Each structure stands twice: as structure tokens, then as C-alpha cells.
Amino acid sequence: MKKSIVTIKWGAEFTSEDVNILKRAVENNSETKFQFVCLTDDASGLDSEIVVLPIPMLGLSEMPKSSGAWPKICLFHPSLGDFLEQVLFLDRDTIICGNVDPFFDDPGDALRLLSCGPRWKSFKDELPPQPATGVMSYNVKRHVNIFKDFAKDPNAAYRNYNLEQAFVGANAAEIDYFALEYVQSFKYHLRRQYLMDLFLAPKAPHEKARMVAFHGYPRPRQVATVGIKWARFPRTGINRPTWLTNYWDCYRDK
């Protein structure tokens, strides 16, 4: 089965360099043959090796609203089945810190997701999972119902769900989850507490982690770039983790 790593970029919050960095990092941390695909409304600046596809919207009158990450619903558009088979989706602000090949395990009929909420925050398997779409693995043709259900009444989806991932979790026919230890949260697991951050940079990912998710503020670019304050009061954001600044220097556009 043809394997693809897919990300999606719309608007101006993320740059082509953010996508290029993600592509270069996964290539350097995988022995699996895959194509790297970006769904986007602006392909300028993307590496030439990236397969660029328009964000598919046939069946919608307009782009899903950005607040709540609703454009990610288009990842389940039926037309993508003409180009993609097994997909590993990564948010643009995902940092790669280990081998990603286990994420290519065939999910079968399930939509395999990142688990958010208290289970992820505490790393306690016994707690109930909550679906998060920052990292997903799925066989495209088995989950087109998610887009179709959204397209029937987008406004109802917006009223009933604050975030796209809540809608996806409620409408997927079958869900399972990646191993908790594979993905750490920068905010939950690596960022220092107030006062400690005056003296210590954020922690490095643990040895079992293969990715770090920067969900919401701050973004990796803000933390990695000298001269940009990356924390909000009461934290200071004055110390930068060497592991991330080195990563950025290694993979950024030259």
C-alpha cells in the first residue's frame, strides 16, 4: 500500500519553511518509503520534492472556518482517495525527535489518533482517551464519511463542536490510539513551571518520544528563534532549549 505523510497549510500563520522543516525531519528519521504531501492554498516556497495538492472543497460553499482548525476536515475528502492510500497526517507544528516508522503501521479500518486530555497530560493509560487530530494514521477511503457528514450541515457542526477534532472523534466509525509515550506535549511535559523557567530551559523529550506536539501557543518557530519572546505571563520565555534550536538550525531553509 502506498504510504504518504500529509500536512495541510492554509492562511498565513504557518510558513512554507515550517512545512519544509517538517518534511526534512521526517525524511531523516524514517526508513519507510513514503511521499510527502502538502494540501495548501499557497504552494510558494515549498521544497520541490513535496507533492502539492489543493485543499479539496468540492461539496462546500466556502473554506471551513480557521478557528477550531476546521479546514482539517478536508483531509477526509473523498477525492483524496484518487491520490492517497495510507496516510500519516502531521500538524505543521510537530517536531520529530525519533524514528517515525511505527506510525506507519497499518491502522486497518480504524482512524488512529493522538490521545489528548488528562490521559495524555498525566501519561496514565487507564484514563479514558480523548481524540486529537494533531497526529493521525488512516486509510483514506475508509473515512470519507467524516467529510460527508460535515458537508451536510457545516453550521450545525460549528454549533455542536468547538473544535474539528471533537467532530472527527464523534463521527469516525472506529478509533484507536497511538502509544502514549510516542508523542510528548511541549506545554504539558517539557515547558518549565513559573519561576523555574527563569533559570532553566524547557526539558528535552524523553528517550521513548518520537514526536513533540506544539498544540496552540507557543509555536516551535517562536521557541527556536532568538529574539522572539515565546511565553506568556507569568512565564518568561527567556530560555531556549538547545535541542530545539539545533533542530531548527539543522532543517531550516538555507
Identify the bridge partners of residue 204 per DSSP, sorted by sequence position. none
Q: In the predicted model, what is the mean pLDDT of residues 12-26?
A: 97
Domain boundary among the residues 149, 183, 217 is at 183
Same domain, 208 and 145: no
Domain boundary among the residues 168, 183, 198 is at 183
**How far is residue 123's CA from residue 93's CA, in Å, rounded to a whole number?**
21
Report whether pLDDT(147) > 80.
yes
**Which CATH number fits the domain that encloses residue 99?**
3.90.550.10
Domain boundary among the residues 156, 183, 210 is at 183
Q: In the predicted model, what is the mean pLDDT of residues 52-68?
A: 95
Same domain, 154 and 204: no
Same domain, 221 and 176: no
Same domain, 192 and 170: no
Q: Which residues of 56-75 are buried (b: 16+ CB within 10 A; e: fewer)?
A: bbeeeeeebeeebbbbbbbb
Can you tell me whether residue 213 is helix, strand or coil? Answer: strand
Same domain, 133 and 150: yes
Calculate the average pLDDT of the chain. 96
Write down the number of H helices and E strands in the chain.
Answer: 7, 10
Same domain, 39 and 119: yes
Cis upstream peptide for 118 (omega within 30°): no
Same domain, 164 and 194: no
Same domain, 86 and 195: no
| Domain total of the chain | 2
pLDDT band at 2 (very low <50, low <70, confident <90, very high): very high
Report whether pLDDT(235) > 90.
no
**How far is residue 28's CA from residue 33's CA, in Å, rounded to a whole number?**
12
Same domain, 194 and 99: no
What pLDDT is recorded for position 228? Answer: 76
**How far is residue 102's CA from residue 111's CA, in Å, rounded to a whole number?**
15
Q: Domain of residue 42: give its range.
A: 3-183
